Amino acid sequence: MHPGVLSRIWWSFMRIIDPGTITGDVGTGWAMVISLFATIGGIVVFSILVGFLSNKITDKLIELKKGRSLVIEKNHIVILGWSERIFIILEELIKANETKRHHRIVILSSMDSTLMYDQIIERIKIFKSTKVICRTGDVKSILDLNIVSPGTARSIIVLSNLSSVADSGVVKTILALQYNNIKGIPIIAEILDTDSLPLTNVAFGRCVYLIPVYDMISRFLVQVVRQDGLSDVYSEVLSFKGSEIYIQKKSNIQDKSFKDILFSYKGGIPIGIERNGKVILNPLDSEIFRPDDKVVIFSEDEESFNLSNKKIPIDRNAINIKPTKEAVKEKTLILGWSPSLPLIIKTTNEFSPKGSTLLIVSDMGEALVKTEEDIKDLSLKNIKVTYKKSTYNSLKILKNLKAETYDNIILVNNHFDNDSTSEEKDAQTLINLLLLRKYLDDLDTDVNITTEMEYPHNQYLAERAKVNDFIISSKIVSMILAQISQEPLIYSIYQDLFRATGRELYLKEASEYVQLNKEINFATVLFAVYKKHHIALGYMTMNDDGHNVLVLNPERNSICRFKERDRFVVIAEE
């Protein structure tokens, strides 16, 4: 019986896919020849097929290794660009979202994605519920931006490379994002030139938040040097570790005054009102909450505060309100130079009492001349600025400068000098700092010293120098970027806090508000501070070793005993 067509097809197919089948064949010569050619043909066809599939898989693995595959995520954080500040941003975002499941951060940079991820793993050890995804591409390219799915992101952070043309790159990136029709997604971007801020704000619209890096650092530097310990307060407030600023999403406070709700919250301290996308910080006590208003509150997290009907007793006999001391003229010494000096000078003038003086000492003579030209058009009504071309790396020079006669000394880290790495600049700053501290210690003189550094780990190396405050410029900017990416409305709060004419954070002596050496609860502190229309966030005491101890957002019924030199952390307008 002759086999049918299907049997013949099956017979041929088996020899094509399995060359070993030919060993069992028997029959005529032509049948063996056909079987042989079918087997050889099968080997060729399947070799081509295997090679094709292998090449496709290899290409896909290479594409994945290059970080060019599409990210399919929703509600993720996108970071565009790469710099040293990215590690602090990642740490803050990980802390902010540690209670959330499946949190994603997607990074797009021109750097190789494998190298990016290796550096992240080396610097950050704990990721908790956060997964970091790295992709390689041009952040100014419309096509490459699509790789990170910006249209479905929760917010987008654009990093600057701090070069002379950095702003143009940031602007191109924002325009490329807007070309992709990204609407309603907050874009938080670093920018260097404050003169272009009004133009770019108008051009980009409401959902773009521009952070002026140099201006922010300058304002922070000037505020901190005038108040010992203030950098510790800001570091706590700006970080997601401990208490920070939140906006309550839902609240049943309509028709209540701000004064009513100030003393009604448990686990948090109300500091303002969010109304129609704008924040009113420390409003009048008679300000009435409208139907859509939200409470701006200082709390440990979004779920740790709530309205409470429980009344904490207030010891009115412990309240001892004294008038705020009048500001006296100050002498400030700046050691070092950076291109942000004009901004530092301008900000110092805004914050200083009339009749104050500022001396800038640097061995960069041409730079000092340029700085002098840059500030010629500024109206400096409160300070007189003088310049001195000199080094400051010897005890003899510090003696000639009479450094001990100044109220405040700012040691600038020249982190805009491209001839040295940031680590080398920090190392030189540490040497100058130790020298300055030895000179002042030998004279037994107490002067407020604020030192600017680039890397946080160098702060611990310098602690033995007993510096009043450290400014880690990269850390401050990074923490602000991270906070605004989580809650864009906080942008206006920091604008207010860093302005000389707005509300600011102060460290006020406890004796201005309450009696010393008497046990009182924090509810009494809150009540006493509000008598001067200030809002208390906590207090700073000094331990037996002479170190500051900061306590923010304490329980209302917690008992405190304040001594001389203890201070309250307050939001006030003065």
Q: What is the DSSP string of 89-137?
A: HHHHHHHHTTTSSSEEEEEEESS-HHHHHHHHHHH----TTEEEEEEES
- The pLDDT, as a whole number, for residue 51 is 79
What DSSP character marks residue 152? G
- The pLDDT, as a whole number, for residue 196 is 66
One-character DSSP codes across 190-246:
EES-GGGHHHHHHHH-TTEEEEEHHHHHHHHHHHHHTSTTHHHHHHHHHSSSS-EEE
Structure tokens at 354: 């009339």
How far apart CA 3 and CA 10 sit, in angstroms, is 11
Structure tokens at 549: 């101890």
Structure tokens at 210: 């521009």
> Exposed e or buried b for every residue in 427-436, given b needs 16+ CB within 10 A?
ebbbebbebb
443: helix, strand or coil: coil
- The pLDDT, as a whole number, for residue 9 is 62
pLDDT tens per residue, the chain (574 residues)?
Answer: 455 656 656 666 666 655 555 555 555 556 666 666 666 766 777 778 777 888 777 776 666 666 678 888 999 999 999 988 899 999 999 998 888 888 999 999 999 998 999 999 999 988 988 999 999 999 999 999 999 999 999 999 999 887 767 788 888 999 899 887 788 899 999 988 777 666 666 667 778 898 988 888 888 888 888 888 888 899 899 988 888 898 887 767 778 888 888 888 888 899 999 888 888 899 888 888 888 888 999 998 777 777 777 788 899 999 999 888 888 899 999 998 887 888 889 889 988 999 999 999 988 877 777 777 878 778 889 999 998 988 888 999 999 999 999 999 998 876 445 555 667 777 788 888 888 888 988 998 888 888 887 776 666 666 655 555 566 677 888 999 999 999 998 988 888 888 877 789 999 999 999 999 999 999 999 999 999 999 999 999 987 777 789 999 999 899 989 998 899 999 998 7
How far apart CA 220 and CA 226 sit, in angstroms, is 10
- Return the percent helix, strand and coil in the chain, to nearest 5: 40, 20, 35
CATH number of 331-480: 3.40.50.720
How far apart CA 388 and CA 398 sit, in angstroms, is 12
- The pLDDT, as a whole number, for residue 142 is 92
Helices (H), 281-326: none
Listed residue (561, 505, 569, 516) closest to 538, CA to CA: 569
What DSSP character marks residue 81? S
> Which CATH superfamily, name and number, covers 77-206?
NAD(P)-binding Rossmann-like Domain (3.40.50.720)
